[in-house]
Structure 1
Amino acid sequence: MSDQRSMPVPDGLEGDRLDSALARMFGLSRTRAAELVAQGQVRLDGSDTAKSDRVVAGAWLEVNLPPPPTAPSPRPDPVPGLGVVHEDDDIIVIDKPVGVVAHPTVGWSGPTVVEGLLASGVRLSTSGAAERQGIVHRLDANTTGLMVVAKSERAYTVLKAAFRQREVDKGYRTLVQGHPDPLRGTIDAPLDRHPAGDGRFAVVSGGRPSVTHYETVEAFRAASLLDVQLETGRTHQIRVHMAAMRHPCVGDHLYGADPTLAARLGVQRQWLHAAHLAFEHPTERRRVEFTSDHPADLHRALEILRED
């Protein structure tokens, strides 16, 4: 069953192409938005439309959105390299390897944290969506490092609230191109989906508030190793903020990294690792803290830079 939406065009989209405006309003790709227009599923002020029409603020928009695709249900499936850092009756803290996402999702056929834990016999919280058992925060597929997963229902509720209220300390290490100026600082820039609708995110006026603190730990000729602390946890936040400073994460080709440097360092993904995680235990009410060393591929890249 389609989802019928009726609303005025927001002021901030005045003059945008219709397909671009739809993509920004409903989180669609521009291709999918253009298909809806071509199928006659979009009307402006009661009239048929074309994807290249320019929208006017306040015009009445009517859209029939298709039902969202359903994520596959999780099934036990072993994940090699999924390390357990800590486990008790309420939580499990894991060290996620590269190439693994948090939970099953539409379009992903690779390994997931949820399925790997289920295959290991770990009982996870069933709160939330069925495919997201126990998941209270996520890392990108090619970002390695620490994740906490809820085993009990109480832990799920408390941890979700702690992440939402920014009570969890999330520390990352990233190797970026060049040398940030100043060497330490704060990036406060709102993020939203890239207007191109191609899966990227971008600094966008009116986007969701996003704050990143960084400090240079070690400087090399062509790159800098940074400690990063997140106040917010937006999708691709560190990657987008660093790229916006013109210092993309090494190996992050999606956001403009130099492929030559990545090849020289043997880096085949963004150099980004969740190295520190601290929060109040959801049932024991004591502060717990966990750390993770750089995985082998990231460590080797640093060795090459230090040998230069």
Structure 2
Amino acid sequence: MKEEKVVVSEKDNNSRLDKFLTTIFTDKSRSFFQNIIEEDLVKVNGNTRKSNHKVKENDIVEIKFPDAVEGSVEAENIPIDILYEDDDVIIVNKAQGMIVHPAPGVYSGTLVNALLYHCKDLSGINGVVRPGIVHRIDKDTSGILVIAKNDFAHMKLSEDFKKHSITREYIAITEGIIKNDSGTIDKPLARDPKERIKIAIVEGGRKAVTHYSVEKRFKNNTMVRCTLETGRTHQIRVHMASIGHPLVGDPVYGYKKQKFKVNGQMLHAAKLGFIHPTKGIYMEFTSDVPDYFAKILQVLGNT
């Protein structure tokens, strides 16, 4: 990963962060910088900021440029579960284990590879590597995603995600018994300064809010419904771990010794609701937990 450091000059005083970066790195688009700012790869005076942050003269801006994905992204005949499709959007129920888009070292088998085979018309805002991708869920998280088929739909949906007006509900199984029937976790998130592959609760990080409610308690575990007010990387996983209830199967934030043999965290994106970008009507989609998830719930119910 290439790193650059620049100092804000007098002429750029009070400029938006994303716009300032495009004046320095003229070969990169504003949307490119908005994406890497979202990934916490840009810091101003050592702190992560939003795209609309106003930089000041003599501010030090540090940028980490992601490694470029080699080659083009090929269409692949991979079965995907499509819940709905029209001229603007595709609603996909992603399986656990599928990566959403190509990244360094992973160029095939992703949801994008499958989408390119299924649909030739996808928005181009995120370039050839992430066509149509408005938001993501982790590889080992299953559930619902909305894909944009054109740039107008992509921009409208992106605006709604930024305004936090999208309904997103997840079902999770946590370690331990959560005593409160419901609660809200409001803790800022950023890259862990010691372990860059992890997200941590960091003072000055991006605001992150998770609401949770208990669906069912078992002997040593709890099934919860988590509603996202914001959508940060690993948000639910980090937030639940922060209150002493990491997700079952989580290889990064969970217990080192796992009771069940599962392929990652027990987390499912069960509901997604949004205003359709051209129809202007509210649409909501739901997805039952997959079979492996249901089997764990059955085992827990019998213990």
In structure 2, the residue matched to 1:105 is 103
| Shift of residue 146, structure 1, vs aligned partner | 0.1
User: How many residues were matched structurally?
Assistant: 255
In structure 2, the residue matched to 1:276 is 271
In structure 2, the residue matched to 1:19 is none
In structure 2, the residue matched to 1:5 is 5
Q: Distance in 2 between matches of 1:271 and 1:114?
A: 23
Q: Distance in 2 between matches of 1:207 and 1:123?
A: 36
Identity %: 37
2:126 is equivalent to residue 131 of structure 1 = no
Q: Distance in 2 between matches of 1:245 and 1:253?
A: 17
| Shift of residue 169, structure 1, vs aligned partner | 0.4
**1:168 is aligned with what amino acid?**
I
2:71 is equivalent to residue 76 of structure 1 = no
2:237 is equivalent to residue 242 of structure 1 = no
**1:270 is aligned with what amino acid?**
Q
> Is the Cα–Cα contact under 8 Å of residues 200 and 238 in structure 2 kept in the other structure?
yes
Q: Distance in 2 between matches of 1:185 and 1:175?
A: 16
| Shift of residue 99, structure 1, vs aligned partner | 1.4
Q: Distance in 2 between matches of 1:167 and 1:236?
A: 19
Residues 1-308 of structure 1 mapped to structure 2, 5 A cutoff: 4-7=4-7, 27=41, 68-72=66-70, 73-80=72-79, 82-257=80-255, 259-263=257-261, 267-308=262-303
> Is the Cα–Cα contact under 8 Å of residues 125 and 150 in structure 1 kept in the other structure?
yes
**1:97 is aligned with what amino acid?**
A
> Is the Cα–Cα contact under 8 Å of residues 127 and 153 in structure 1 kept in the other structure?
yes
In structure 2, the residue matched to 1:17 is none
**1:77 is aligned with what amino acid?**
E
Q: Distance in 2 between matches of 1:231 and 1:304?
A: 31
**SS of alignment partner, residue 98 of structure 1:** coil
| Shift of residue 258, structure 1, vs aligned partner | 5.1
Q: Distance in 1 between matches of 2:64 and 2:145?
A: 33
> Is the Cα–Cα contact under 8 Å of residues 101 and 112 in structure 1 kept in the other structure?
yes
- When the two chains are superposed, the root-mean-square deviation of aligned CA atoms in Å is 2.4
Q: Distance in 2 between matches of 1:67 and 1:287?
A: 37
| Shift of residue 197, structure 1, vs aligned partner | 2.6
- In structure 1, runs of 5+ residues without a counterpart are 9-25, 29-59
In structure 2, the CA distance between the partners of 1:3 and 1:273, relative to structure 1 (3 Å rule), is closer
**2:186 is aligned with what amino acid?**
D
> TM (normalized to structure 2)?
0.78
| Shift of residue 287, structure 1, vs aligned partner | 0.5
**1:225 is aligned with what amino acid?**
M
Give runs of ≥4 in structure 1 deviating > 3 Å.
Answer: 60-63, 65-68
- In structure 2, runs of 5+ residues without a counterpart are 9-39, 43-58
When Rg is computed on C-alpha atoms for both structures, the one with the higher figure is: 1
> Is the Cα–Cα contact under 8 Å of residues 41 and 65 in structure 2 kept in the other structure?
no
| Shift of residue 129, structure 1, vs aligned partner | 2.4
